[in-house]
Chains A and B, each alone.
Chain A
Amino acid sequence: MSSITLFQPELNYQVDSFITKLKRRQIVGSSAVAIETAQLLIRVVSASKWKNPDHLIKQIRRLGVFLTESQPKEFTCGNIVRRVLSLIRDEIDDTQVGTKLNQPIFTSMFNLLIPTDEQLDKINKQNDGYIELKSKLDKPDRQFINSFRSTIIQDIKELIDEINHVDEGLEHKVIELIHDDEVLLTPTPTSQTVLNFLKKARQKRRFTVVVTESFPNHTLTAHKFAKELADSNIETIVIPDSSVYALMSRVGKVIIGAKTVFKNGGCITSPGVSAVCEIAKELRTPVFSVTAIYKLTPQYSFDTESLVEFGNPGYVIPFQESDMIQNSDISNPIIDYVPPENISIYITNLGGFAPNFVYHMVQDNYKNVDFDLN
């Protein structure tokens, strides 16, 4: 077990155990990962020793590196870390608000022209109060640290609250998305978000849901999903994954869940969804993805091949049929990448937006400097 010497021992131990859980995939589902990460961060913010906010940022970034490296395909961890970093940076900005007015405007386009730090210092020296604040931030007194700490913790708690109440944010969109007597198809029966969304939607609309089986990895889950929908008084039809094309022409909308949404508007979800979305696109059936803001990741999915994860081939051909296993190469991808052009819209707790707008939401929620944690 890799030992981490980031913080004091008892904190390191907590980080360690979290990382092991991540590696072993003992935390399942992005929302669970998100919440656990946020809780870990609360512990870090409250228990670790830091001299000033910058120091705290550094510590959290290092922690972020550890977390993302331990499970590089679990993007949620990194997302939460970046969110928290952005929260901290916002708080720092807020304390600086007095001097901000006189700051030069440097949008990223001006990279080329912005003065060097030295020059900036010279310029800033003309502004009163700047130095005072700078020294205050560099060597803050205990009172400041304590109040800063508690605001950050409060912020993270609000973040956890947001994660917990994603479904409520989605609820309002039902009326805009589904009409009575509509047929919806969902190829992601593993998504709790989709399930909750549909159940909520039933309160306002009457519709039919076609559920694919998501064979072989999640067939039982799919069946449970279907059963739960049926129990919530939603007309439900279970179909094998292969029948999607045949039925697509009768489907009004496709609803998918997403594990991770990339900056370019593509997303990672359950296997098979990519093909379903392609069919939908071909037949002009709108595809909407219900997801949450914390699933947005500032990464660009330039290498879709390396994103793919493979699971147990024993699910494809049971080990009882060992002859076939020995004599062929069996793959069982457990995720799928859907390119942005095959998704019509993302519905999140902060509203709906087109895939080509994801980059903007990413910029809103994370700070550019934190895109790369290293």
Chain B
Amino acid sequence: MATLTNLVNATSLEFERRRKLDDEEFDIVDCYLKILEEDQEISMPIAAIQALLSFLRFRQPSTQAELIDILKKATNKLKDRVDDSTSLSAGCDLFLRYITRNLNLYKNWDLVKIHLIENGNIFLTRSKESRSKICKIGYKFIKDGDIILVHSFSRVVLQLLVKANEENIRFRAFVTEAKPSKTKYTSINMVEELRKSGIPTKLILDSSVGYVINKIDKILVGAEGVLETGGVVNHIGTYQIGLLAKTANKPLYVAAESHKFVREFPLSQDDFSKRYEKNDIMNFDKSTKSSEEDIIYELNRNPKLDFTPPDYVTALITDLGVLTPSAVSHELIKMWYD
């Protein structure tokens, strides 16, 4: 009896020791950021999955329960510590869901190794595949003579436009300045890339969208995350473009990989920013500061993401095909309950 409790104590101690160890030795957030840093092509959900896998490789869980426990904890940590974590949480949720749904496959730990850990880069190629799949489906949306409005930098959108250009579709593009930018990739990069591939491009101010809205044919944006309703979280400014598009009867297409779908259902901007983004836009302090620096600081503390309700989205171009906003929910439900 004593030996048994000892044993239990020993294992729990051992467990505790190992847990402390990971916290010290393996910082999943660092890992995640490093992955993002290293590869420009990698998007946030993929980076999150990669980070989780590295973590698994490090921890080598021996039971299913442990596997899930480790994953859950790591996921929460990631979500907590990374700002703007919509698409990150999409990746984590997808991964977690996949593992739990298919646990029966992984009765045998070796198989997990074969599939998930040793072929880690498979996700990267898959994610690239899904992007090129989107391009293959999506370039047909662009027609000769179109003028397309693009908001902010988006890899998918960029690739889609380049693909359309390769297919000898002649079109022009407006790119919004999309300030403040959240990552090091800005609209300037977008314009650069587009021009490099020979697409006539014009950079416009965010405030001139209303001016050009009647001149353009369609709007194409990427997404940080696609929500349960088919609404979209994207770089700030997408919502107002959506509103303008609706009044001007211009279609707004969102190009996004299916691994960006998240089971979230925000009702308003606040709803989602409370969860994902920290900003002080509602903080009207009596600051008297108005030096240039202060203003830049103040502007940089503006929200960088907004939420576009599904009413403003004409269709989503995803690797699962072209989806109406209502179909997103269906896909998500399938993932959880099928």
Contact = CB atoms under 8 A, between A and B. Distances in A.
B87 interface: no
B321 A111 contact: no
Nearest to A371: B321
A305 B217 CA distance: 13
A115 B116 CA distance: 8
B264 interface: no
Interface in A111-133: 111-113, 115-116, 119, 122-123, 126
Interface in B109-163: 111, 114-115, 119, 122-123, 126-127, 130, 140-141, 143
B130 A115 contact: no
A61 interface: no
Nearest to A300: B322
Nearest to B122: A116
A359 B319 CA distance: 15
Interface residues on B, range: 35 or more
B330 interface: yes
Contacts of B130: 111-112
A110 B105 CA distance: 15
Interface on chain B toward A: helix, strand, loop, or mixed SS? helix
Chain B CB within 10 Å, residue with most, of A110, A122, A305, A340: A110
Given A111-B320, A368-B321, A302 B141 contact: yes
A123 B111 contact: yes
Interface residues of A, number: 31
A107 interface: yes
Contacts of A302: 140-141, 315, 322
Contacts of B105: 104, 123
Given A112-B126, A113-B94, A105 B319 contact: no
Given A111-B259, A116-B119, A305-B143, 16 more contacts: A107-B331, A109-B94, A109-B332, A110-B94, A111-B320, A112-B123, A112-B258, A112-B259, A113-B94, A115-B115, A126-B108, A264-B315, A303-B143, A360-B330, A363-B330, A371-B321
Interface of A: 102, 104-105, 107-113, 115-116, 119, 122-123, 126, 263-265, 300, 302-303, 305, 340, 356-357, 359-360, 363, 368, 371
27 contacts: A104-B102, A104-B105, A105-B102, A107-B331, A109-B259, A109-B331, A109-B332, A110-B94, A111-B130, A111-B319, A111-B320, A112-B46, A112-B123, A113-B95, A122-B111, A123-B111, A263-B322, A263-B324, A303-B143, A305-B143, A340-B324, A359-B323, A359-B326, A359-B330, A360-B327, A360-B330, A371-B321
